């Protein structure tokens, strides 16, 4: 485990890691920027509960008062949920300044991977990853999540990439950087709100044990990057592709008109899509996160069993 002087590992998390027990990292952007209070806090606590029920220890990750937290208390989760958008959405570039100033940060996929790896946590459950934005050939708007997956050895379990992105270019970028993209029980990349995207993943794997074996082999080979596991949203919560794509197109158009770009893009688009779908997209978002937490916990347990 890293002895980084800015890192606080929660006692329960530290004990589990030391004992070789399964731990699953969770991000905090979904709490502060992903949904309104108190739904954000309820969802975060439910995700932790699901991880426990499936045999692992949850470690919600955040930056609080300039400290990198690997494992948050219920009170800290409540604090992040109430502060909401006031909390900085923290990517890799933000960490040095937040730490130096003693400020708060909600961790994205990128920073959750960084802090999880520092603490010795190998598996991370999230909603969806960032990727190559539409029009990136002129804007160069590419999420730092992809670069982190290329260099940080953490397995990320997600429901694919949101179809607000250019999914084809996102897959190309991951391939160029040698990141394995696994479909859990599917040969097709899930598109977050829907189970299908029309794009193929690298491999289909059907059990947590097989996922664990692939990740273990990647570590034994001493490859430096991570692994992306894409887990389709459960059928009953999957949205109609035409409905969600129409909402996405409208939201993307509005973002363009308002000149919204960079890290403000995704929160704006998600809020807009929620309004356009009458809240259905938020419900889908919550259930896909629960589904990913369950798979991540089972896979973390399977990885520990291999050791």
Residue of 27, 48, 78, 148 with catalytic role: 27
Residue 138's pLDDT band, with cuts at 50, 70 and 90, is confident
1 within some domain: no
2 belongs to a structural domain:
no
- What pLDDT sits at residue 149? 98
Is 249 marked within a binding site?
Answer: no
Which of 144-153, 180-189, 244-253, 297-306 bottoms out in mean pLDDT, i.e. has the lowest? 244-253
State yes or no: is 74 an active-site residue: no
Whether 241 contacts 196, CB under 8 Å: yes
How many Å apart are CA 132 and CA 134, to the nearest integer?
7
Q: Rounded distance, CA 253 to CA 151, Å?
A: 33
**Confidence band of 92 (pLDDT split at 50, 70, 90):** very high
Between CA 154 and CA 125 the distance in angstroms is 10
pLDDT digits (tens, 9 = 90+) for 10-20: 999 999 999 99
Which structural domain range is residue 250 located in? Answer: 7-306
253 is catalytic: no
Is residue 160 one of the residues assigned to a domain?
yes
Q: How confident is the model at residue 250 (pLDDT cuts 50, 70, 90)?
A: confident
Specify the CATH number for the domain of residue 253: 3.40.1790.10
Q: Does some domain include residue 13?
A: yes
56 in a labelled binding site: no
Residue 287 has a pLDDT of 94
Q: What is the mean pLDDT of residues 127-134?
A: 88
Q: Tell me if 89 is assigned to a ligand binding site.
A: yes
Q: Does residue 3 surpass a pLDDT of 60? A: no
Alpha-carbon distance of 72 to 26, in angstroms, equals: 10
User: Choosing from 69, 78, 162, 298, which is the catalytic residue?
Assistant: 162
pLDDT in tens, 54-71: 999 999 999 999 999 999
* Within-domain flag for 171: yes
Give a yes or no: residue 223 inside a domain. Answer: yes
Q: Known binder of ligand: residue 145?
A: yes
pLDDT (mean) for 123-147: 88
Q: Is 283 part of any domain?
A: yes
- Residue 291 predicted with pLDDT over 50: yes
Task: Report whether 104 belongs to an annotated binding site.
Answer: no
Residue carrying structure tokens 């940060």: 105
Per-residue pLDDT at 169 exceeds 70? yes
What are all long-range contacts of 202-209, with beta carbons under 8 Å and residues at least 24 apart?
A: 202/175, 205/229, 208/295, 208/298, 208/299, 208/301, 208/302, 209/302
238 known member of a binding site = no
Task: Give the chain's domain count.
Answer: 1
Query: 70 vs 279, which has greater pLDDT?
Result: 70
Give yes or no for residue 272 having a pLDDT over 90.
no
């Amino acid at each position: 485990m890293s002895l980084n002087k800015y890192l606080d590992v929660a006692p329960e998390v530290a004990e589990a890691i030391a004992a070789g027990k399964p731990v699953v990292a969770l991000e905090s952007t979904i709490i502060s920027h992903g949904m309104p209070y108190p739904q954000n806090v309820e969802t975060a606590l439910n995700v932790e509960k699901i991880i426990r029920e499936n045999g692992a220890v949850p470690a919600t990750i955040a930056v609080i008062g300039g400290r990198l937290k690997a494992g948050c208390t219920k009170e800290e989760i409540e604090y992040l949920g109430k502060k909401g958008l006031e909390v900085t959405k923290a990517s890799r570039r933000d960490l040095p300044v937040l730490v130096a100033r003693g400020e708060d940060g909600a961790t994205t996929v990128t920073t959750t991977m960084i802090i999880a790896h520092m603490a010795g946590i190998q598996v991370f459950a999230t909603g969806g990853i960032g990727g190559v934005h539409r029009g990136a050939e002129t804007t160069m708007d590419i999420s730092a999540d992809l670069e982190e997956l290329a260099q940080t050895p953490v397995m990320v379990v997600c429901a694919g990439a949101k179809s607000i992105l250019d999914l084809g270019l996102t897959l190309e970028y991951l391939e160029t950087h040698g990141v394995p993209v696994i479909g859990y029980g599917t040969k097709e990349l899930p598109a977050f709100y829907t189970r299908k995207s029309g794009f193929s993943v690298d491999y289909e794997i059907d059990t947590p044990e097989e996922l664990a074996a692939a990740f273990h082999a990647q570590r034994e080979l001493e490859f430096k990057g991570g692994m992306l596991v894409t887990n389709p949203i459960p059928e009953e919560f999957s949205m109609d592709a035409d409905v969600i794509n129409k909402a996405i197109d409208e939201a993307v158009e509005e973002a363009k008109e308002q000149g919204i770009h960079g890290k403000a893009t995704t929160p704006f688009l998600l809020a807009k899509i929620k309004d356009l779908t009458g809240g259905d997209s938020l419900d889908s978002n919550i259930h896909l996160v629960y589904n990913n937490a369950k798979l991540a916990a089972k896979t973390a347990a399977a990885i520990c069993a291999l050791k």
